[in-house]
Amino acid sequence: MSKRFVAPADTTVGAILSQLGEALDAITEGRVFCGRRRVLGEGERVHAGEELLVHPPRDAIALPEPFVLHHGDGVLIVDKPAGIPTIPDTIGARGTLVDLAARALSLSRDALHPTSRLDREVSGVVTFALDERAREALATARDEGRYERRYVAIAAGVPGAGPWTWPIGRARDPKLRRAAADGKPAETRVRVVAQQGRFALLVLAPVTGRTHQLRVHASTAGAPLVGDRAYGGPPRLTLPSGKSLTLGRVALHCARVRIETKNCIIQASSPVSPELIGLAGDLGLGGFEEALACEV
């Protein structure tokens, strides 16, 4: 549970943490906020009436083996498990993907620049640039259509033929997005690999990279992703056999990436998690072999 402290008089962050029984590590882990501002040092002043918020440490999540999928050419690619954010959030930096990746290579978090992000409850391949040259090369590859990503997903609905081209803009909740005529252009290539009743196994290839693009597009197409509560996907399923299934994540996985720069071709892949394989089997959708091999 988070701890809150309203300063009765001017003081310092360090003094408040001492009163709360919190170690200074809470600051380095990015878990301490003064109002909406993340605290960076114990000597920072907290004025009378201001609130200090200290979030609890993030629960540890087991990393896939191997975790590092590629390291070279100024590029780091890792295999993200569902349940952790890519970059620091309000709970802090420690235990986020960028933190775990930096520690795996004994680097500073500031040295890693994500060129693609996966939402907290999505798994799979994430790419980081480790220097400015690589950052520019990856940006150029994306702009020129040479940064390809392949996702697999399980949807509660069977969409029509793609591609999906709804523009995407902000929703009323600033953390969410929606299909909107005045939004930014967005495009997703889609293929239905298997269907059983109202469920479908999809292959998705984003052409653009808008926030929540695949989730918003799937929902707008009448096929929200299983487990995606924010965009209408069912968190619980009851099979004809009476078996009840609860998915603690979004049924979306970035299975591979292929990046072509002027100097090299970089490829990496992440195996589909046993949780999603089991879900597809329970729903009668078969395996992911065709989804990983087909064109989209």
Encode pLDDT of 72-83 as tens digits: 989 999 999 999
Question: Is 88 a residue whose pLDDT tops 90?
Answer: no
Q: Model confidence over 149-177: pLDDT tens digits? A: 999 999 999 998 879 999 999 999 988 99
Active site residue 119: yes
pLDDT score, position 13: 92
Look up tokens 């087909």; give the residue. 294
Where is 33: in which H helix or E strand?
A: strand 32-34
Residues in the chain: 296
Q: What is the DSSP letter of 136?
A: H
Question: Is 95 a residue whose pLDDT tops 80?
Answer: yes
Q: Model confidence over 176-204: pLDDT tens digits? A: 999 999 999 999 999 999 999 999 999 99
| Residue 271: both structure tokens together | 């195996």
pLDDT score, position 277: 94
Least confident of 47-51, 75-79, 211-215: 47-51
DSSP one-letter string for 74-117: TEEEEEEPTTS-SS-BTTBSTTSHHHHHHHHTT--GGG-EESS-
Question: Is 279 a residue whose pLDDT tops 80?
Answer: yes
Residues of the chain with pLDDT > 90, as a percent, come to 69
Question: Is 93 a residue whose pLDDT tops 80?
Answer: no
Question: Is 59 a residue whose pLDDT tops 80?
Answer: no
Longest dimension (CA), the chain: 64
Question: Is 206 a residue whose pLDDT tops 80?
Answer: yes
Rounded mean pLDDT of the chain? 91
DSSP helix/strand/coil, 280? helix
pLDDT score, position 26: 85
- Global confidence as pTM: 0.83
- The confidence band for 16, taking pLDDT boundaries of 50, 70 and 90, is very high
Q: What is the DSSP letter of 213?
A: H
Q: How far is residue 27 from each of residues 14, 46, 92, 118, 127, measured CA to CA in Å? A: 9, 14, 9, 25, 27
81: cis peptide before it, omega within 30°? no
pLDDT score, position 78: 97
Look up tokens 């997005």; give the residue. 177
**Catalytic, out of 73, 119, 131, 143:** 119
What's the sign of the alpha-carbon dihedral 169, 203, 124, 260? negative
Question: Is 241 a residue whose pLDDT tops 90?
Answer: no
pLDDT score, position 31: 83
